[in-house]
Structure 1
Amino acid sequence: MLQIDPAQVMRWSDADVATRWVHLFPPHDGSDEAHHRKRLHLLSNAERLQTIRHRLGSLSWFMRCLAEPIARHTNREDGCTGRFWGGRFKAQMLCDEQSLLTAMTYVDLNPIRAGIARSLDESRHTAIKRRLACVKRDRNLLSQRIKPVAGSIDGEAGITTADYILMPGASWVGCWRHVSV
């Protein structure tokens, strides 16, 4: 899951925007001088810089920048052309709280289902592991609502940290692991 904050991009300086863009799309010769020239060129073009700022805060552009080089490289390796992903991966907007919680649960339980971890707190790179670590330091967090949820009216989910940790999916994980192995 990926959450973006387009408003954060609006707080970056023009120099930050230009620098980040040049890191993402370096000049062909790759020299420090070429990087510097490209950055200065961007800084001298306010209209282009505004377009770039918008793109740096866009999920669509992120997905394009992520998928395109991987697809080109892999297609070149395989000696083929056409759509690389071929329907193997999906991107879907999570429009309501239930969709978000379902996706969060799926992502948090995936390392266990895949046999990579035996428990939620052994999982690596998951939100649930971070939540559990925070709760171990401060038990009062159990009663707080999960935040932030992008796009929700009050910025909080209608579920507490304790409710999320104890959701049915989390207790069913053992069954999922045995069924999928």
Structure 2
Amino acid sequence: MADIFTIDIYAYAVMSNHLHVVLNVDSEKAKNLSNREVCERWHQLFKGTLLTHRYLNNEALTKPQLAVVEDKLDLWRKRLHDISWFMRALNEPIARQANAEDKCTGRFWEGRFTSQALLDEKALIACMTYVDLNPIRAKIADSPETSDHTSLQRRIHAIQKQQSQPASLAPFIGSSSQTNAGEEGVPFELKDYLTLVDWTGRAILSDKRGLIKNDLPPILSRLGISHDLWLQLANNFGKNTSGLTGSPEKAKVAAELLGYQRVPRVGQNRQYFS
């Protein structure tokens, strides 16, 4: 799915009865795809139509038929950067497989997915760490490298095998001052992120015993996040945050773009992301 949608996967964790994903929507990439690329991508997930298959096979189409195909491709182009369609394409096959294994029918997932917008680097790194450390918080793993079914474990295994970063995951590209304009990826160094999640995981497991509060990982020092505030976010990101998540200034801009009359969660964002 990472190769089909123009949606980058920053982090994920698959648990026994739910999953988390951190995604970055790249609408500009979808707009720059050719019609043929859109069609080829969509056919990897869905059946398409008789006319779109004829289009891919370079069969002759009348002008009205070609207009129908182009309208359909415009619709699919929008869906290729739509989180709702991404989650549908992810969840429906899982539901069908689970029902087949259980020899039953009916709804598999409890309800529609919930989502929140991560508006700045603080919100992004806090959410990624929260997601990657899910198995440690749930006490089903005692280290990042043994946290099965997480993006973090995949990144660590690639390093252990001296391989490049996994192609299906968004790369860590360093801080914005180090990267080329327009380069897409996680705006931190991978080694700094690994240090952060290892430090945070130890804090969660040890209940903060033995940690020196002034000895913060580089990412926290750079972003100016305190020891206690960070552990609140890393342990309870989903409970402490929702909706538009990030600095009050970023939340205000996002609210205006979305046409909200009021900025939601002002106190929450001021507390955690000022």
Q: Which bin holds the TM-score, normalised by the shorter protein?
A: 0.5 to 0.7
Equivalent residue number for residue 138 of structure 1: none
The 8 Å contact of residues 115 and 177 in structure 1, kept in 2 or not, is answered as no
Q: CA deviation at 1:176?
A: 2.2
Deviations 1:59-108 (A, max 9, x none): 111111111232233234341313x1115x84412333343222111233
Equivalent residue number for residue 104 of structure 2: 79
Q: Distance in 1 between matches of 2:84 and 2:119?
A: 19
Equivalent residue number for residue 66 of structure 1: 90
Q: Distance in 2 between matches of 1:63 and 1:100?
A: 19
With 49-58 and 18-27 compared, the bigger mean Cα shift is at: 18-27
Matched, 1:10 2:36: no
Stretches of structure 1 lacking an aligned partner (at least 5 in a row): 134-143, 148-154
The structure in which a higher percent of residues are helix is 1
Q: Distance in 2 between matches of 1:128 and 1:102?
A: 19
Secondary structure of 1:80's match? coil
Equivalent residue number for residue 96 of structure 1: 119
RMSD, aligned α-carbons: 4.4
Stretches of structure 2 lacking an aligned partner (at least 5 in a row): 1-21, 160-173, 178-184, 208-274
* Letter of the structure 2 residue corresponding to residue 58 of structure 1: D
Equivalent residue number for residue 201 of structure 2: 173
Q: Distance in 2 between matches of 1:2 and 1:90?
A: 13
Q: Distance in 1 between matches of 2:43 and 2:55?
A: 7
Q: CA deviation at 1:48?
A: 1.0
Matched, 1:125 2:125: no
Q: TM-score when scaled to structure 2?
A: 0.42
Deviations 1:139-179 (A, max 9, x none): xxxxx5269xxxxxxx996x777875665x64231242367
Equivalent residue for 2:43, pick from 22, 35, 40 = 22
* Letter of the structure 2 residue corresponding to residue 145 of structure 1: S
Matched, 1:49 2:73: yes
The 8 Å contact of residues 21 and 52 in structure 1, kept in 2 or not, is answered as yes
Cα separation, partners in 2 of 1:50 and 1:162, compared to 1, 3 Å: same
Deviations 1:2-36 (A, max 9, x none): 222121111111111111111111379xxxx9994
Cα separation, partners in 2 of 1:118 and 1:165, compared to 1, 3 Å: closer
The structure in which a higher percent of residues are strand is 2
* Letter of the structure 2 residue corresponding to residue 25 of structure 1: F
Q: Distance in 2 between matches of 1:86 and 1:69?
A: 15
Q: Distance in 2 between matches of 1:172 and 1:16?
A: 42
* Letter of the structure 2 residue corresponding to residue 15 of structure 1: R
Cα separation, partners in 2 of 1:86 and 1:38, compared to 1, 3 Å: farther
Secondary structure of 1:24's match? coil
Q: Distance in 1 between matches of 2:142 and 2:85?
A: 33
* Letter of the structure 2 residue corresponding to residue 118 of structure 1: S
